């Protein structure tokens, strides 16, 4: 997929903002060019998928949004997958740890979510928002995140946030000839028991793999198979692989 048509990137850095996605939306409406990237030290109203908030304390993460105009070919899911692979590859350059992608757009290390991606589309632009936990906050994560969230780097390890940002942008703005292969190689749900959430409905299933359009192939309890398309669906990987309860 052709990611950037004009091949120019315009990086703007901020201290604290509400949400880099929201700020970039304003700028996009005001005519900001494709390739505008907003990076903030902290967010007071960082947003995640499905109305969740994204905890964004100062000095502990990368909070970044990228503006593309509609010239890009491919759909939102494909773009989100492309961003997830770009982040995973950039992280892999700085850590020995195995980096996984949890369908559709979360990055996991050691069983904990270290990055989320929020792609938002308007009629004439798309914003890809990337939030990465680099290091655990001094006072830990808020209660609701404590069992899920983790950080890319340990308390005492050195890291270079600017290098990571740079590597992410290089990967993101490069065409990826084997996006599906790169995504599948890191997919963490394959063969696992998962809990699927869609609106008020929840059910258990087994994840089979990622299809050609980045849908999640699942086996239901009655033995039938179906494919989940991202939208308003989320999945959790079950710790135990026992009953279908």
Joined tokens for residue 152? 């890319």
* Of residues 100, 132, 92, the one with CA closest to residue 207: 100
* Of residues 199, 180, 44, 66, the one with CA closest to residue 121: 66
Give 61 or 167: the residue with its C-beta nearer to ligand BTN.
61
Binding of ligand BTN at residue 46 (CB under 6 A)?
A: yes
Binding mask 122-161 for ligand BTN (x = CB under 6 A): -------xxx------------------------------
Binding mask 50-89 for ligand BTN (x = CB under 6 A): --x-x--------xxx------------------------
Give 38 or 78: the residue with its C-beta nearer to ligand BTN.
38
Binding of ligand BTN at residue 103 (CB under 6 A)?
A: no
Binding of ligand BTN at residue 27 (CB under 6 A)?
A: no
**Pairwise CA distance, residues 22 & 208, whole Å:** 36
Write down the least CB distance from residue 176 to ligand BTN, Å: 21
Binding of ligand BTN at residue 48 (CB under 6 A)?
A: yes
**Pairwise CA distance, residues 125 & 129, whole Å:** 13
Report yes or no: 70 and 124 within 8 Å, Cβ to Cβ: yes
Joined tokens for residue 66? 């990228």
Joined tokens for residue 35? 């390739």
SS3 state of residue 147:
coil
SS3 state of residue 102:
strand
Write down the least CB distance from residue 245 to ligand BTN, Å: 26
Give 3 or 168: the residue with its C-beta nearer to ligand BTN.
168
Among 3, 4, 20, 228, binds ligand BTN (CB under 6 A): 20
SS3 state of residue 19:
coil
Give 30 or 242: the residue with its C-beta nearer to ligand BTN.
30
Distances, alpha carbon 143 to alpha carbons 26, 63, 77, 100, 112, in Å:
32, 21, 30, 24, 15
Residue nearest to ligand BTN (CB): 116
Among 25, 27, 47, 192, binds ligand BTN (CB under 6 A): 47
Footprint of ligand BTN (CB under 6 A): 19-21, 43, 46-49, 52, 54, 63-65, 116-118, 129-131
């Amino acid at each position: 997929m052709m990611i950037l048509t004009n091949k120019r990137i315009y990086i703007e850095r901020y201290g604290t903002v509400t949400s880099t996605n929201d700020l970039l939306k304003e700028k996009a409406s005001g005519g900001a060019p494709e390739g505008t990237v907003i990076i903030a030290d902290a967010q007071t109203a960082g947003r995640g998928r499905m109305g969740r908030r994204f905890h964004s304390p100062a000095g502990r993460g990368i909070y970044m949004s990228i503006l593309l105009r509609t010239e890009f070919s491919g759909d939102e899911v494909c773009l989100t997958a492309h961003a997830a692979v770009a982040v995973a590859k950039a992280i892999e350059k700085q850590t020995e740890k195995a980096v996984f992608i949890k369908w559709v757009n979360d990055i996991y290390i050691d069983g904990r979510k270290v990055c989320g991606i929020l792609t938002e589309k308007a009629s004439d632009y798309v914003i890809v928002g990337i939030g990465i936990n680099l290091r655990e906050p001094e006072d830990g994560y808020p209660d609701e995140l404590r069992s899920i969230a983790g950080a890319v780097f340990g308390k005492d390890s050195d890291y270079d946030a600017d290098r990571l940002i740079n590597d992410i942008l290089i990967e993101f703005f490069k065409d990826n000839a084997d996006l599906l292969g790169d995504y599948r190689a890191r997919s963490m749900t394959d063969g696992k028991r998962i809990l699927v959430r869609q609106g008020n409905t929840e059910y258990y299933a087994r994840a089979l793999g990622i299809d050609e359009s980045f849908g999640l192939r699942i086996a239901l309890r009655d033995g039938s198979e179906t494919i989940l398309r991202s939208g308003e669906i989320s999945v959790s990987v079950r710790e135990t692989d026992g009953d279908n309860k």
